Every structure is written in C-alpha cells, then in structure tokens.
Structure 1
Amino acid sequence: MLGAAFCVAAVLVVVGLASTGRISGHPRTRPTGDAARGYHLPDPAEGDRIAAGLLGSSPAAPSGAPMPPVPTESSAAVEPLPVSDPLQAAPIAPTPAIGALLHAGEGDNPAHFCTATVVSSPNRNLVVTAAHCVYGGAFASDIAFAPGYHDGVMPYGVWVPSRIDVDPRWVSDRDPAYDVAFLQVRRPGTEDRIESVTGAEQLSFDIPPGRPARTVGYPDDQQQPVGCQNTTAAFSDTQLRFDCADFPDGTSGGPMLTDIDPANGRGTVIGVIGGYQEGGDDLTNYSSYFGPAIAALYQRASAAEVAPTT
C-alpha cells in the first residue's frame, strides 16, 4: 500500500524483511512449519495461552456463555448493492462471520491488525484473510481471530489457528497473485466448529469482474468495521480492483462480498483486500483474483483436517 496513511513497514527481526500493506503491524513470527510447502501447524499450547490472555483482557463472552444470536433465516433474494456515494468507506455494524485478527502484543494486550472472514467449508472451521497478514518471512506465531469484534468486545469468543495455508509461491517471492491465506481455527476448551457458532459466508471462484460488491475491513485505529459498495473491475489477469477511499491499515484481508442475502446479511466472498501493493493506495483496493490457484489452495486447506484441541 502506498502513502503515509496506507503504507506501513514492519521490520521482521527474524528475517530482516520489511512488509507493506493494509496491516497495522506484524505479530511475532517464528521460522517453524513447512514454509516451502506453504503450511504451518501452530503450537496448541501457545494458542491456548494466547486465547486465555486475550479473554482475560477483554469483555469477551467466556466459554459456554450465551452469545449474540446469529440469523438463521435465508431467502432467495439478493440484496441490491448501490454504489456508495461518496466512494468512501464508512462505519458499519459488525456481523458474526467477519472479524478482526488480533495479536497478543506485550503483556497479552489485544491489538487488531488485519481482517478475516469465516467461509463455508467441509470441516466448518475455515477463515480466509490475506497471506501478508500471516506470513512475512515466517509464519505468525501469536495471532487469534475475534469474529464480530467491536469496541474491544469479542462476542463470539477467541479462536486460534490450528493450521495456516498459503500458496508456496507467496512464500518464495511474495507474488501478489497469491496473497490469500486460509486458517483452520479452534476455540480453546471446546470442540466447537466456528461455522456452527457464527455462520459463514460462501466462497466462489472464477467470478468475472463487474460484480456489485461490498468490501469490509477493520481499521487499526477504529473499534468497528467500515464498509463501502462499488462494482469490481479487472486490474490484470491476476488482480481484482475495487475503487473506494479510506480503507487504511488494518483492513488487509477484509472480504469483497457479493450476492448478499437480505434475510441474514451473508454473502459470497470473491476477494480479500491484498494482492497488488498488498491492498492498494488511498483510493483503490485490490485482491488476488480468486481463480484456479486460490481454489486449489482452498481445497488443500479444507482437506487437511485438524481435530480441535480441548
């Protein structure tokens, strides 16, 4: 991402590498996992510690406590998505399946740095975000996902990754065609599947440009998401373009949604903020095009079942 408000350089001590994009600061990383093959299996004990620390510092719903209801109704209709006027992101209400990626930071104080989305999958525990949010020379080692995050509250609990999948071509040279990651997640102390708790957005591939879409993200200096509506366009064979201003640091990984059901607010993810310039500039957002390569990554992440750890 270019410009003072949209470009952040996070020095990764592990590898001496700087990363840019709509990401407010990289979490700690460790050179573990099979990076050459594009996947990582985080340490369950560390995940449990991270979740406990974040829950202890936030008014999140504790394990087993009632959570806000998730809409279950659906309709055959598709919500009209008129173009935002002005073309500028504005605060919107949080939704259960979209949330903030957190890293524990010093003293386990929560700080959100990217955006992620629960997507439908056979294992019912999959989240999509941008690859540059979770791999910057090494896999992130201290992250968690808070679906429906707002005002420091984690209403659907804290979920930590049990597996992270990125394309090996992102690992080898940060190719913007592959700036997408899938995370299998678990809620420590339970056998819950996140899709059963929050619901899930659908995921679609090979969708031609020119679709009305809503893009959503969590700015790092705000405590609720922002959104904007426009029509997607092709930037290149591997990049989707979405023109709208004011998606700053922290919105990386946020979904581009189309075909939104008015009965439940859920739609279909056709991109995530990332790709070219790792997200865009102060007027334009990009996404790696969800074509065959991203579909193959999704299939790999879905097939690699990781049992919840309780």
Structure 2
Amino acid sequence: MSRRAADGGSTPGDRRILIGTAFCVLAVLVVAGLGSVGRPSGRSRADVRADATRGYHVADPAEGDRIAADLLAAPDADEAAPPAPTATSEAVEPLPVSDPLEAGDAAPTPAIGVLLRPGEDGDPRHVCTASVVESPDENLVVTAAHCVYRDAFVTDIAFAPGYHDGVMPYGVWVPSRIDVDPRWVADRNPDFDVAFLQVRRPGTDDRIETVTGAERIGFDLPAALPARLVGYPDSREQPIDCRNTTTAYTSTQRRFDCAGFPDGTSGGPMLTDIDPANGRGTVIGVIGGYQEGGDDLTSYSSWFGPDIAALYDRARTAKPNPTE
C-alpha cells in the first residue's frame, strides 16, 4: 500500500476494472492504442513507454515558469529567510533515540522542504518531502520515485526548501529534469523507489545548493546507523522528525522504526553524521520503498546501494536535455 504520498494518485488496487464482454475488452484496447486522457503529464502512452525505457523526463520550461508563478502568488509565499549556514566542523551531532519513539514537531531547515502542486482554490498543497543533495552543478534534489512517477511523470510540481506555514523562504524551484530507475517505471519495484530532480529557480541563474546548502549522500553504508528521519505531513505546515537507529529490513530495504509519519512524508530523508555547525548530514535513504513508505509504526527506504548510486551518478552528470 501507499501511505506517504499525498498526491491523490490511485494505487494499482484502486484501478481494477471489471469487463463483462469481449466488446468492452476491445474498446479498452482501442483506447490504449489511441492514447491516454487526463494522465499527470498529459502525454501519450507511446511517450510513457519511452519513459519506461529511458527513466527520465525533461520538463517544459514554460510549464515550470507557470507553476512557479502560480505558487508564488500565494500570500506570504516569498517571505525572505536568513542565509543557510555555511560553517562546518569535524563534530557529529549526537542522535539519541527519541523517547517516546514517535515523531514530533521540528524546526524547518533550508535544505529540506516540500514538493508542491498548485491547488484548484489557488492555495498550494504539499504532497511529498524532498531534500537538496550535493552535486557538481549544485542543482540536485532527492525524493521518492512514487512522488514523481505513477502512471506517468508528475510534471505540475515544484520544490520549496525550508517551507513552513505557507511560506517559501528560499523560493520555488521547478524541475528541469527528473530521473528514476526504469525498473521503477516498469513495475514500481520497491527496491528503486528513489528519484533525483535537477531544479532551477525561474528568472534567475541561482544554484539551489548555494542558496540552501546541501545534504551529503551516502551509499553502501552499514545497516545500523543512528539517524534522524524528517518529513512534512500533508495535514501540517511544518516538518516532523524522529531519531532512532536504522536496521536492514531486507538486503534491498532500510528500516526505521518510529511512529507518526503519515501521508505527505514520502521522500523525507534519513540523515546520519549530522554536523552540529550547520545541521546538515548524510542522506542514507528516503521514505519510500516497501509499502511505498511503511505503516503507522515503521518507515522504509530503498537501499542506497550500487543501483541507487548509479542513478545518482546519471542524474548529477546528465544534461537537462539529453539531445544537447
């Protein structure tokens, strides 16, 4: 089941169709051949098949500009925030296990925020959590694959780092490119429930990493690590967090036991080795994977091993348009 993405998308079980006659079967096949109406990306099934092969989406800049303008039209959306901390240290913040073992209120931080979609009533709604991670071009965000690809790529989204109470203090950043593993697109394999977004701030040449700072990203790290899990519930306007030691659920899934991470927290980072000088750490997972995130007591992440490392390498080095 999927509990963590608040995008209103249906699950495979919700889309069961009872077909009573051969005529209905034929009609469905004809519709499939002609294309799909009302999919998130508004593209044809042929394009979706191409995405399944390629595993990436290049965004329409004009659409991104419109989405950013719509989101920034919300009251207080562009309220300024102080610069992200630049200090660093060799220290590591202690991460004692939360007591009780339940998520609680957390202060927003510049490098973690929400994925937003424009609401029909003019108010933005946040649907998932994401975080800035280090990359050569200083423009990369990580989240869960199920936040950005269901039946097709979700294109009407933007990232608001440091979000709280409707305020987008570090601006609105729209994807220029989205990368997922083709094996997620093919059959939503929970071992590949990770996505990377190259983002831009419309009307500027800003690099998000220079504005918000960035979390590091770690691969092939031990199963048992002290970590802080962060996410934005869809029903709240500030983040929550919890501290515990991660474990291996399987060889391809990382587990984090803590109650209270509801819908909307998908894509939220599991952070270890947090530098107390700036509050940033190393991302070792994002809420997703098994059950697309977990249940009321436990959160999961696809294992950040060689496959996710290869996806990261592709995303961080890719040109926004592969034909360039």
TM-score where L is the length of structure 1: 0.89
Q: What CA distance in whole angstroms lies between the structure 1 residues aligned with 2:152 and 2:160?
A: 22
Asked if the contact 2:6/2:264 (under 8 Å) is kept, the reply is no
**Structure 1 residue 61: Cα displacement:** 2.5
> CA-to-partner distance for each residue in 1:240-281, whole Å, 9 max, x for gaps?
000000000000000000000001000000000000000000
> CA-to-partner distance for each residue in 1:28-69, whole Å, 9 max, x for gaps?
33335741210001111010000001001131227xxx5422
1:58 and 1:280, CA in 2 relative to 1: closer, same or farther beyond 3 A? same
Asked if the contact 1:30/1:139 (under 8 Å) is kept, the reply is no
Q: What CA distance in whole angstroms lies between the structure 2 residues aligned with 1:181 and 1:143?
A: 14
Q: What CA distance in whole angstroms lies between the structure 2 residues aligned with 1:258 and 1:249?
A: 23
TM-score where L is the length of structure 2: 0.86
1:200 and 1:123, CA in 2 relative to 1: closer, same or farther beyond 3 A? same
1:232 and 1:71, CA in 2 relative to 1: closer, same or farther beyond 3 A? same
**Structure 1 residue 105: Cα displacement:** 2.7
Asked if the contact 1:58/1:154 (under 8 Å) is kept, the reply is no
Alignment correspondent of 1:207: 221
**Structure 1 residue 12: Cα displacement:** 5.4
Q: What CA distance in whole angstroms lies between the structure 1 residues aligned with 2:70 and 2:162?
A: 19
Indicate which of 168, 190, 194 corresponds to 2:208. Answer: 194
Alignment correspondent of 1:47: 64
Q: What CA distance in whole angstroms lies between the structure 2 residues aligned with 1:141 and 1:7?
A: 15
Alignment correspondent of 2:51: 35
1:252 aligns to 2:269 (yes or no): no
Alignment correspondent of 1:134: 148
Alignment correspondent of 1:271: 285
Structure 2: which 5+ residue stretches go unaligned?
17-38
1:49 and 1:108, CA in 2 relative to 1: closer, same or farther beyond 3 A? farther
Q: What CA distance in whole angstroms lies between the structure 1 residues aligned with 2:7 and 2:176?
A: 27
1:197 and 1:11, CA in 2 relative to 1: closer, same or farther beyond 3 A? closer
Alignment correspondent of 1:24: none
Structure 1: which 5+ residue stretches go unaligned?
19-26
**Structure 1 residue 10: Cα displacement:** 3.7
1:74 and 1:8, CA in 2 relative to 1: closer, same or farther beyond 3 A? closer
Question: Over the residues paired in the alignment, what is the CA RMSD in angstroms?
Answer: 2.1
Alignment correspondent of 2:184: 170
Asked if the contact 2:4/2:265 (under 8 Å) is kept, the reply is no
Pick the structure with more strand per residue.
1
Alignment correspondent of 1:101: 115
1:185 aligns to 2:199 (yes or no): yes
- Partner of 2:234, secondary structure, is coil
**Structure 1 residue 73: Cα displacement:** 0.6
Count residues with an aligned counterpart.
Answer: 292
> CA-to-partner distance for each residue in 1:200-221, whole Å, 9 max, x for gaps?
0000100111100000000000
Alignment correspondent of 2:19: none
Alignment correspondent of 1:303: 317
- Partner of 1:219, secondary structure, is coil
Identical positions, percent: 68
Q: What CA distance in whole angstroms lies between the structure 1 residues aligned with 2:42 and 2:274?
A: 38
Asked if the contact 2:134/2:209 (under 8 Å) is kept, the reply is yes
